[in-house]
Amino acid sequence: MKKILVISNMYPTSDHLSFGIFVKNQVTALKKAGLDVEIAVNTNPATGKKNTITKYVKWGFSTLMKGFKGRKTFDVTHAHYVFPSGMLSLLLKKLFGIPFIVTAHGGDIERMAKKSPRIRNWTASILRESEHIIAVGPVLAQQIEQDFDISKDKISIVSMGVNREIFKKGEQAAVRKELQLASDPFIFLFVGNVIKQKGVEELLQAFQMMKTKVSRPVELVIIGSRRDGNFVESLRPFISEEVHFVDPLKQAELVKWFQASDVFVLPSHLEGFGLVALEALATDTPVIASEVGGLVSLLGEGAGHLVAPVNAIALSEEMLLAVNTSKNQYMNHEAVEKVLAIHDEKNITAQCIEIYKSAIKGGEGL
């Protein structure tokens, strides 16, 4: 294998630490495994019609130029998100005969493909023309198979994986002292974009209901980007002194917050996989999450606790149970270890490499 070109409409920078961090992590893992990887990525999270058009035109042009220059050296391209990234991989295949695989992350199928008939048709073409499709979870894989009439043999279920050398168990008391956190509160943690689809409103409502029923102090820490100002403003009625907002962090710092917390909560309305839930488990932090998408397969065999989505009352009851139950009883360590072994970054990287080899072999006749 000579060279891989990774194409993604999301990729982090020092200014936007969490913007597609999972793609960067996989690129780093592939390089560590000995692959020659080049990237063609959009690092600008700006929204709005004008900003979106400008940044995507710039990204698209630079990607096509990279493809042209490397047309004889790239063995395969790997697009993250079917649309728009997959469209660039498809163009490079049409123009220069470079085979491609595409990873579907959930939002590209669940939301983007439903925005218009045109985007749906483009999505269908990308999936059909790809050498192989990676779905980050089994529910997503089934959806691609059924909704787009894709052969099951063409789809592999491969998560983004967790780096267990970074995300690992820590000494809670010591980490709390380092982060200047009080030792006595029971801390709930959420990590992700502060947007409606992540269930942040239900989380805040559930926390306020739950805290009135416990005798010990409880706190809620929300770590993530708050770019949607209107939505954040709508949350004000549910914010109290026990709720703390933290800006996105580098992973070396983020892991400390996982280690310092008692329970991680991910109440998403939809979720292709739920990598942050996996990262929480890797730090030995119990997880409560919505019974949606990839979270069902990730946590459904006992590794976590699932609740109905968009249901603050059900979430509050589960959070209350977590506070009133010892960690050893609340967390099924055997089930967690099984999940972590399956989704270890090293295993995921090996699976990706095998898919690349198969795609290259299949594209030799182009």
Q: Which residues of 65-102 are buried (b: 16+ CB within 10 A; e: fewer)?
A: ebbeebeeebbbbbbbbbbbbbbbbbbbbeebebbbbb
**Which pLDDT value is given to residue 365?**
42
**Which pLDDT value is given to residue 166?**
96
For 8, what's the count of Cα atoms within 13 Å in the CB-facing half-sphere? 23
Euclidean distance between CA atoms 139 and 155, whole angstroms: 12
Q: Which two tokens stand for residue 269?
A: 């309305």
pLDDT confidence tier of residue 297, bands split at 50, 70 and 90 = very high
| Residue 366 burial (10 A CB sphere; 0-12, 13-18, 19+) | exposed
**Which pLDDT value is given to residue 363?**
61
- Give residue 23's identity as a one-letter amino acid code: V
Euclidean distance between CA atoms 183 and 65, whole angstroms: 54
What average pLDDT does the segment 249-272 reach? 96
pTM of the model: 0.91
**Which pLDDT value is given to residue 2?**
79
What letter does residue 162 receive in the DSSP assignment? Answer: B
DSSP per-residue string spanning 30-59: HHHTT--EEEEE------SHHHHHHHHHHH
72-90 pLDDT tens trace? 999 999 999 999 999 999 9
pLDDT confidence tier of residue 106, bands split at 50, 70 and 90 = very high
Q: Point out which residues pair with 7 in neighbouring strands.
A: 40, 79
Neighbouring CB atoms inside 10 A of 40's CB total 24
Euclidean distance between CA atoms 179 and 192, whole angstroms: 20
Euclidean distance between CA atoms 318 and 330, whole angstroms: 11
pLDDT confidence tier of residue 364, bands split at 50, 70 and 90 = low
What letter does residue 77 receive in the DSSP assignment? Answer: E
**Which pLDDT value is given to residue 231?**
97
**Which pLDDT value is given to residue 361?**
86
Q: Is the model's pLDDT at 311 over the cut of 70? A: yes
**Which pLDDT value is given to residue 47?**
87
Q: Please tell me if the domain spanning 4-161+344-362 has the same topology as the one spanning 172-342.
A: yes
pLDDT confidence tier of residue 366, bands split at 50, 70 and 90 = very low
Q: Is the model's pLDDT at 1 over the cut of 80? A: no
On average, the pLDDT of the chain sits at 96
Q: Which CATH superfamily is domain 172-342 in?
A: Glycogen Phosphorylase B; (3.40.50.2000)
CA-closest candidate to residue 134, choices 109, 107, 154: 154
Q: At residue 292, what are phi and psi to the nearest 5 degrees?
A: -140, 150
> In this structure, which topology does domain 4-161+344-362 adopt according to CATH?
Rossmann fold (3.40.50)
Residue ranges covered by each domain of the chain = 4-161+344-362, 172-342
